[in-house]
Chains A and B, each alone.
Chain A
Amino acid sequence: MPQLVRRRPILAVIVAMLGVIVSVGVLVLSVGLGPASATTEPAPTPTPTSDFTNTFTIGGIIRSGDDPLEGVEVEVEGQGFSEVGTTGADGRWAVSVPSAGDYTATLLPDTLPEGVSPRDPDKVTRDVTLGTTNTVNVLFPTGEREIVRTNIADTILTRLVYGLNFGLLLALGAIGISLIYGTTKLNNFAHGEMVTFGGVVFFFFGTVLNMPLIAAIAVTLVLSAFTGYAQDAWLHKPLRRRGVGLVQAMIVTIGLSILVRYVVLFFLGGNIETLDTGLTETVSFGPVTITVASVVSMIVSAVMLALVGLFLTRTRIGKATRAVSDNASLAAASGINVDRIIRIVWIMAATLTGLSGILYGIFRQVNWNMGFQILLLLFAAVTLGGLGSAFGALVGSLIIGIVTEVSTVWIPNDLRYAVALLILIVVLLVRPQGVLGRKERVG
C-alpha cells in the first residue's frame, strides 16, 4: 500500500508546521512582544453569546504627521455615559466605558494645537460599536492646515510618485506570484501572508528589538527565504508527488493562508504598528515632498527588480526557470532538474515577497492583515500583466500602484482598491491574456 505509506508525511508535516509556527510564536511572545489586545475581531464570527470580561475601552492615537499631539480631548458618549479622554505625551487617549453597545466619539477641535486641524472638519464625530471586542480604536486624521492643495497638477504629480513607490513594492511580491505560477501553475493564496511575514518579522527585529536597520532587513530576508524553502519542501513538493490537482493545491494554500493569518493575529494582536526606520526626514523634488524612506524604498525595489531581470535573462538558472515556465516536461527532457528550479523559485519568490512586506510596512503600516489586504492587488497585477510572465507582473504592478494612488484625486480614498480591481475585470474583458501575455487560447 504505497498510497498509505506516502500519506503520513504530509499529515505529519501539516501538524508539525502548526506546531512550529505556534512554538516560534510562543518564543516571540516570551521575548517580549506581548499579546496586544485586538482592535478588530476576525471578520465573520457568530457573535459569542456571553461575555467573560468586563472592561471595555475606546481609544486611539492622535498625531499630526508623525508627531503625537498632547492634550487633545475626545468626548465619548453613549449608553447614558459621557466622558472626555485626553491624549498623553505619546498622543494616546483612552476612555473606559461601562458596557458594550453603541457610542459616539467626538474630537474637540478647539483642543488641537495651533495650525493643526482635522483633515475632514465635518467628520469629527465617529460612531463606535463595542460588540464582540473589548477595545475599539478610533482614528481622527489630523494635519497641518496647508495640506489643502489648490494646484491639481501638483496633487496628481505627488500621487504619481506615491503610486510609483507602491507599484514598485507590489512588483516585488507580484513577481514572486508570477514565478511560482509560471513554474508550477499554482495560484498561491498564501502569498499575502508572505508579505505580512516580512512586515511583521521586520517590525519585531527592527522596532521591538531595536536592531540596526540593515541587520533587521537581513534577518527578515533570511527568514522569508526559509519560509519559501519550507512551503515547497514540506508542503507543495509532497503534494505534487501525491498528484494532488492544481485546484486542490490552491485550496490548500487558502487553508495555509487562514492558518498563518490567525497565528500572526494571535501573537501580534490586532494593533496597527508603525515601523521605526529612522528615515523620516522629507525631501522635495519640485512640488513633490516625500520621505527619505520612500526614496530608499523605490531605489531598493528598482535595483532588486533589475537584478531579477538580469537573473532571468542572463544566468543559466534563470534561463532554466523560463524554460520550466514555458514547458516543464520539455525542460525536464532536456536535462533541467525541474524540482530544483521550483525550489529556487520558491525561495527567491519568498525573499522578494518578504522584502516587499518590509517596504509595504514602511509605506503604510504593519498589521496582521496587511498582506491579505493587498493579495488581490498582487493577483490583479499578475493577471493584468499576463499570468506567468515576470515582466508582465512588473508592468501590471506599476499600473495597479499608480491607478490606486492617482485615482484618489477624484474618488474617495476608501474606493481606490475597488478601482484597481475594476480595471482588472475590464482588461480581462478586452485582452484576456493580459498586457504582456502571449496570445493563446485561455478558455
Chain B
Amino acid sequence: MDWGQILNNAAGELLSPVTAAYALAAIGISVHFGYAGLLNFGQAGFMAVGAYAFVIATLSLNAPLWAAFLAAILASVVFAFLLGIPTLRLRADYLAIVTIASAEIVRYVVSTTGLTEYTGGAAGLSGFNDAFVGINPFPTGSYGFGPWTYTANQLWIRVFGWGLVVLATVLVYLLMRSPWGRVVKGIREDEDAVRSLGKNVYAYKMQALVLGGVLGSLAGVVFVLPRAVQPGNYGTTLTFFIWTMLLLGGAATLFGPIIGAMIFATLLTLSDGILRGLISADIITFISTTQAGQIRFMIIGAVLMLLVVFRPQGIFGNKKELSFNV
C-alpha cells in the first residue's frame, strides 16, 4: 500500500474547497448555537437553499455571477425568516425539530421529479461553473507544492472558499465583541434576564438565525462550485457531520469551527485511505471496500458521543462559555 499517496490525499483534503464549505457552515452553526444558543439542526437545508438558489439563478435565469450570489444570500434570509417566525418564541427543542424538518422539506422539494426542469430532480444540476471559472484572476500554470499542488482553477476555488472563511471569521469576531454580540451571548445565558433589560430577544435571535443561515448558504455555494449540485448531499447526515466538526473544534470559539472542519475532513480521508489500502494489500480480508467506507461513519458516531460527554467544549472551547441547557 502506498502510504505516500494516502498521506498526500489526506493532506490535500486539509485545504480542499469541501473543507472550506464545511468550515463556513460550521461557523454558521457556531453563530446559532455557540453564541446565540439556537439549536439549528437544519444547516444542510441552508446549504441546499444557497446552492440551489445560486445554480437556478445561473442556469434558469441566466443571472450574472454577482446576482447569483445575491440570490443565494436572499434565499437563505427568506428561509431563515420562515423558520424563525413560528419557532423562535418557542422552547429550544421546537426549533431543533422545525429546522430539521424544514431542511428535509427543502431536500424533498429540490429532488421531486415534478420540478426536474428547474432543479434537475434526483440527478441534480451541473454546468453552472463557467462564470466563476471565467473570472479566475490566476494565469494558467501550476501552483503550490507537495500535496497542495493546484492548477489555476483549483487554486482559484480554494482562494475564494478560504477567503470567505476568513471574512466570515473576521465578521463573527467583530460582531461578537460588539454590543450586539454581548446581547446575543446574554440571550444564550439567560433569555429572561436580557428581556428584563428591555431588549427585543425575538429580534436578536432572528438576526443571529439570519446571519448563521447566510453563512450556511455561502457554504452551500462553495460546496457546489467545483462540482455539480445533487440533492442527495443535503440530507440530515450532513447537518450532523457539521455539528460534529463544530463540537470537535469548540462551539463558541473563533477558530474552533475551522480547525474542527479541517480535522474532520482530513481524518475522514486518512482513515478511508488506510482502510482501503489495508484491504487492497490483503491485510484486512474480511470486509469489502464498500464496508470500509462505512466504518468511518461508525467512528464519527462514536466520536460524537464521546466528545459531547467528555469534552463538550471541544478542543479550543472554554467550558464556562458553553450552554448546553438552552
Contacts and interface: CB of A to CB of B under 8 A. Distances in A.
Nearest to B97: A379
Interface residues of A, number: 67
A129 B123 contact: yes
Interface string B261-274: 00001001100100
A32 to B, nearest CB: 15
Contacts of B276: 48, 52
B238 A44 contact: yes
Contacts of A129: 123
Contact of B243 (A254, A257, A418, A428): A254
A412 B109 CA distance: 10
Nearest to A256: B305
Nearest to B100: A376
A49 interface: yes
A233 interface: no
Interface in A12-47: 14, 18, 35, 37-38, 41-46
A10 B280 contact: no
Contacts, number: 189
B310 A7 contact: yes
A7 B297 CA distance: 25
Contacts of B287: 35, 266
Contacts of A44: 232-235, 237-238, 241
B109 A247 contact: no
Given A254-B240, A254-B243, A443-B90, A247 B325 contact: yes
Nearest to B235: A43
A421 B104 contact: yes
B298 A48 contact: no
B233 A41 contact: no
A424 interface: yes
Interface string B31-43: 0000000010000
A418 B301 contact: no
B86 A428 contact: yes
A48 B290 CA distance: 11
A38 B91 CA distance: 40
B312 A248 contact: yes
A44 B232 CA distance: 7
A187 B301 contact: no
B113 A412 contact: yes
A428 B98 contact: yes
Contacts of A53: 289
Chain A at the B interface: mostly helix, strand, loop or mixed?
A: helix
Contacts of B247: 251
A41 B294 CA distance: 9
B201 to A, nearest CB: 10
B91 A262 contact: no
B190 interface: no
Contacts of B305: 14, 252, 255-256, 259
Contacts of A50: 5
A134 interface: yes
B108 A248 contact: no
Contacts of A260: 301
B290 A38 contact: yes
Contacts of B265: 46
Contacts of B309: 10, 14, 239, 242, 244, 248, 252
A442 interface: yes
Given A43-B235, A265-B294, A418-B105, A255 B308 contact: yes
Contacts of A52: 276, 279-280, 289
A45 B105 CA distance: 21
A424 B98 contact: yes
A380 B101 contact: yes
Given A52-B289, A251-B247, A259 B301 contact: yes
A424 B101 contact: yes
Chain B at the A interface: mostly helix, strand, loop or mixed?
A: helix
A266 B291 contact: yes
A348 to B, nearest CB: 22
B143 interface: no
Contacts of B306: 11, 14, 255
B63 interface: no
Interface string A112-140: 00000000000100010100011000000
A134 B324 contact: no
B7 interface: no
Q: Which of A38, A46, A252 lies at the interface centre, i.e. has the most chain B CB atoms within 10 A of its CB?
A: A46
B199 interface: no
B293 A42 contact: yes
Interface in A391-432: 412, 414-415, 417-418, 421-422, 424-425, 428-429, 432
Contacts of B100: 376, 379
A245 interface: yes
Given A43-B237, A428-B90, A11 B310 contact: yes
A10 B39 CA distance: 25
Contacts of A43: 232-233, 235, 237-238
B92 interface: yes
A142 B308 CA distance: 48
Interface string A228-260: 000000000001001011111011101111111
B290 A421 contact: no
Contacts of B5: 50
Contacts of B279: 52
A242 B312 CA distance: 13
A417 B98 contact: no
A417 B288 CA distance: 34
Contact of B302 (A14, A123, A418, A425): A14
Contacts of A247: 39, 92, 324-326
Instruction: Across the A-B interface, give the 4 residue pairs with the lowest CB-CB distance, nearest first.
Output: A259-B301, A258-B301, A255-B304, A255-B305
Interface of A: 7, 10-11, 14, 18, 35, 37-38, 41-46, 48-50, 52-53, 123, 127, 129, 133-134, 187, 239, 242, 244-248, 250-252, 254-263, 265-266, 372, 376, 379-380, 383, 387, 412, 414-415, 417-418, 421-422, 424-425, 428-429, 432, 442-443
Given A255-B306, A412-B112, A442-B91, 6 more contacts: A43-B238, A187-B96, A244-B309, A246-B325, A248-B308, A258-B240
Interface of B: 5, 9, 13, 16, 18, 39, 85-87, 89-94, 96-98, 100-102, 104-105, 108-109, 111-114, 123, 232-238, 240-241, 243-244, 247, 265, 268-269, 272, 276, 279-280, 287-291, 293-295, 297-298, 300-306, 308-310, 312, 324-326
19 contacts: A14-B305, A14-B306, A18-B302, A37-B290, A44-B237, A52-B279, A52-B280, A133-B290, A248-B308, A251-B304, A255-B306, A262-B297, A263-B298, A266-B291, A414-B108, A417-B108, A424-B98, A425-B86, A428-B94
